[in-house]
Chain A
Amino acid sequence: MDFSFTEEQTLLRNMVQSFVQDNYDFDSRMKIVHSDEGMSHEIWGQFAELGLLAAPFSEEMGGLDGGPIETMVIMEELGRGLVVEPYLPTVVLCGGILNRHGSDAQKEAHLAGIIGGEDIWALAYSEPQSRFNPADVLTSAKADGDGYVLNGTKAVVAAAPWANKLIVSARISGDQRDSDGLGLFIVEKSADGVSTQDYPTVDGNRASEVTLENVAVGADALVGAAGNGLALLEEALDHGIGAVCAEAIGHMKCLNDATVEYCKTRKQFGVPIGSFQVLQHRMVDMFMEYEQSVSMTYMVNMKLSEGEAERKKAAAGAKVQIGKSGRFVGQEAVQLHGGMGMTEELNVGHYFKRLTVIDTQFGNVDHHLKRFAAA
């Protein structure tokens, strides 16, 4: 048994950490969030230069051959900086799908663009009616000659305003919630028939409603086998969970540190408020939630490459932990900061809001409790 990081992993962490510290302080972050674009292409280019966008890909593709642990290390550090640039959808979700299941030709065609920072990807899988069930898909993919024609609407697609490429889940056969019959399709956002309604989200990110109207794609757009899309998608979402868990422990760590620091310095009744035992215990609880979350984050990221049953259970369990702990830590950090915690000016509220969105992303606590119980 060994929970220590390799030297390379530690170097990776140090590199991302110092990059974020030097280039992504809270003020810079808020400037980016409030800009028209909502992300910084300059930062994205620097991610490419640092090799972050190459982390999970094989060396022959120009990557670093990293696994979930490397992704975890990166995401945790990005979490500390509340980074909005779309690492998760581009590299972890879509990059992961292409890397694991893309044909040689698809990898050839697409991975270089991710690694080089030219392309941004979004995973369009949820629909207005689907809530958290990725099998609930009304978007249709009708075979047409060699290719397919896609029709449907995708909901709250994270990073889609920035993306030039999408992976879209669509139903090739079967009924609305059948687990068989889905396909994952690579779609250029500029293709005829793709339109988006773009908007900001509460956590400072951007998302879109994506409408597909008779969008024609070739046979080479399909990733993996026809009808097998759900398995690929679920696996990708579990990898997404491993990544947001790591992001969330980055947030929680910052919130806990900020809260302890604040309670040591903020004085009321002539003493630091940290001297009140109720607040001490609250901070101890926050600390314990954080530690439990770290444990579950390590656990899930070590199990992502195991068999499907084990992976699913691990992901569901971790997501429940993160959902509950994130909520507790976020709410208490605001509470212990008093009025200051309510202000847009302080970073505390922004960590809290991102943690709130993470609780919903890829399915909330109730959803994953059910999934865990069924696993």
Chain B
Amino acid sequence: MDIEFAPQDEDFRAEVRSFIEENYPKHLVGADRGDLSKEDFLAWHKILAKKGWVAPSWPEEFGGTGWTVTQKYIWNEESASFGTIPPLPFGIGMLGPVIYTFGNQEQKDWVLPGILSGETWWCQGYSEPGAGSDLAGLKTKAELDGDEYVVNGHKIWTTLAQHADWMFCLVRTSSEGKPQEGISFLLIDMNTPGIEVKPIITIDGGHEVNEVFLTDVRVPAKNLVGEQDKGWTIAKFLLGNERSGIAGVARSKKAIDRLRDIARAELEDGKPLLDCGAFSRKIAELEIDLTALEYTELRTLASESKGQGPGPESSILKIKGTEIQQRITELTMEAVGNYASPWVPQLDRGDNYLAIGPEHAEGVSQTYFNNRKTSIYGGSNEIQRNIIAKMVLGL
């Protein structure tokens, strides 16, 4: 057992740190994810793509970096501590691995470069009104008509579909047998006639998710990934990857640092809130939980590097990671006291807008409200507990 970094790892850290500092777009330093345009989302992605660093998790032959587990870990830490806007998960984290694992050569050739370059924006069309936790209950139907599928159905909660060029979509191609058996994994061009995207506004006032209606959408049969009716395996493979990326340890560390800065600036009876025992103990507790999660994640990474894929244990990372993120946002909101309640939507600010209260209070409540999603999406935390109960404990 050993967690020291070797000298060459420290060199690597210096290299990536100075690359980030020198190349990260100035106007996006400290930017709030809620306010980003499509170009903003992609700006850093495109810089990383040029450098060849956009997909460290991929095998080198498909465009990965060939970094060791330790190097990837350092990369995540440095990116988080600088506060970069990470490349969107839908292409790099979700679809890419599906394509290089299950796709045919032609699909690899046309899908992977677009993901890497940031040219193609993907969204995830899994959930439906009737199929949330019970994903296999999905009803969106795809029927083969010549060399095209005709797709009809209704997807919901589709993140950032308003910007998407393409959607990877779970569709029902058969209603025989168990519900899991008739599902297929289809790539759909969002510009195809018959697709309508409708915004859903969330409780933080943001437009992040959408409904996607599909009416007689014609999709070339060659856009099927893997075999027809065998999409469930792919769907679950993707969910396993989604889960393990979700722990967000490095970003939570950064968020705790920021919380501590805020608590230093906020006063209670003239003294920094951070010097108030009760509050600093709450931060300490969070930090301890995060340390435990960090080591749990490192143990998972270490076993992955020995060739074991992310197992049901990755559900621990999802549950604990999101609980910690939620507690950080909650405590940050608590730290700013009365100034947690002002809320001037971006659109209503006008030219003479004066910030209300201290700058660090801006948006903390919205972040708290928005983060309630993390225990719901990516397989809710109840579902993750069910997975551990069944797959790990054998109940």
Contact = CB atoms under 8 A, between A and B. Distances in A.
A339 B132 contact: yes
15 contacts: A129-B267, A131-B269, A176-B270, A202-B340, A202-B342, A202-B369, A268-B133, A269-B134, A335-B381, A339-B132, A342-B203, A352-B203, A353-B203, A356-B365, A366-B276
Given A131-B337, A268-B132, A369-B278, A344 B205 contact: yes
Given A155-B338, A156-B342, A268-B137, A342 B365 contact: no
Among B157, B201, B356, B381, which residue has the most Cβ atoms of chain A within 10 A? Answer: B356
Given A156-B341, A341-B376, 5 more contacts: A202-B340, A268-B137, A331-B372, A339-B377, A342-B209
Given A131-B268, A366-B278, A278 B385 contact: yes
B362 interface: no
A203 B365 CA distance: 10
A364 B335 CA distance: 10
Contacts of B111: none
Chief secondary structure at chain A's binding surface: mixed
A40 B367 CA distance: 29
B375 A344 contact: no
A267 B369 CA distance: 26
Contacts of A129: 267, 270
B279 interface: yes
A197 interface: yes
Interface in A73-101: none
Contacts of A269: 133-134, 137
A356 B133 CA distance: 27
Interface string A325-355: 0000001001100110111110001101100
A159 to B, nearest CB: 12
- Chain A contact-residue range equals 35 or more
Nearest to B345: A200
A268 B137 CA distance: 8
A273 B137 CA distance: 14
A70 interface: no
A197 B349 CA distance: 12
B262 to A, nearest CB: 13
A161 to B, nearest CB: 12
Contacts of B365: 202, 356
B137 A202 contact: no
Contact of A343 (B137, B201, B337, B345): B201
A203 B341 CA distance: 8
A322 to B, nearest CB: 15
Interface in B225-280: 266-270, 273, 276, 278-279
Interface in B103-142: 127, 130, 132-134, 137
Nearest to B203: A349
Contacts of B137: 268-270
Nearest to B344: A199
A262 interface: no
A335 B268 CA distance: 33
Interface in A113-144: 126, 128-129, 131-133, 136
B203 to A, nearest CB: 4
A153 B330 CA distance: 27
Contacts of A202: 340-343, 365-366, 369
B369 A349 contact: yes
Interface string A190-210: 000000010111110001010
Interface string A345-375: 1000110110011001000101001100000
A342 B202 contact: yes
B309 interface: no
A352 to B, nearest CB: 7
Given A278-B385, A342-B376, A364 B203 contact: no
Given A155-B339, A156-B339, A338 B270 contact: no
A370 B269 CA distance: 13
Contacts of A215: none
Nearest to B206: A344
Contacts of A370: 278
B287 interface: no
A279 interface: yes
Given A209-B356, A269-B137, A278-B382, A339 B376 contact: yes
Interface string B359-395: 0000001101100110111001110010000000000
B338 A335 contact: no
B342 A335 contact: no
Nearest to A350: B203
Contacts of B376: 334-335, 338-339, 341-342
A177 interface: yes
A202 to B, nearest CB: 4
B334 interface: yes
A3 B15 CA distance: 70
A360 B270 contact: no
Nearest to A346: B203
Contacts of B156: 339
A279 B382 contact: yes
A190 B91 CA distance: 57
A366 B283 CA distance: 14
Contacts of B366: 202
A341 B266 CA distance: 32
